[in-house]
Amino acid sequence: ERREDIPRLIQHFLQKSQQRYQLPAAELSKAALRQLMDYPWPGNVRELANRIERFVLLADERELLADLNTAATVSSGFVLPAEGLNWQQHERDCLLQALSRSNGNRAQAAKLLQLPYKAFLYRLEKYQLG
C-alpha cells in the first residue's frame, strides 16, 4: 500500500537476516530494487521479508525476483466474467495447463501455480488428475 516504505523495509530485512545468519552484507542492484518496488505485494510485508531472507541465504537476485512479473500480470489481468465462472472447472483447467506446460513435472507445475507442493498434490487428487 505504501510503496515509499519498501526501500526501508528491504534494508531492515537485509540487516536482520544478515545478523541472524551471520552472513556478509548482500546488496541489491537498482534494477532489482525497482522491480521490488513495482510489485503489488499481495502477501504484504511477510512475503517481502521471506523473499529478502531467501536472498540473503542464497545470494541470488534471480531467485529473489523469480515470479514477480508473472504474479503481477496474472493478478492484475484477470477480469471476472459478468456471468461468473465455474470455479472447480477453472481450477481443474489451471492444474491441467500447469502439468502440460511442465511436461508432467509436478514440482514445476506447482511452482507455476505458486502453490506449495502438498497443496498441488491435494488438488490433483481432488480432481482425480494424478
Same domain, 93 and 63: no
Same domain, 7 and 57: yes
Q: Return contacts of 52-55, CB within 8 angstroms, 24+ apart.
A: 52/10, 52/13, 52/14, 52/17, 53/13, 53/17, 55/14, 55/17, 55/26, 55/28
Q: pTM score, two decimals? A: 0.52
In which domain, by residue range, is 113 found? 81-126
107 pLDDT band, cuts 50/70/90, is very high
Number of domains making up the chain:
2
pLDDT by residue (tens digit) across 16-67?
Answer: 999 999 998 888 899 999 899 888 887 689 999 999 999 999 988 988 888 7
Does the pLDDT value for residue 101 go beyond 90?
yes
Same domain, 70 and 7: yes
Does the pLDDT value for residue 75 go beyond 60?
no
Mean pLDDT score, 68-91: 72
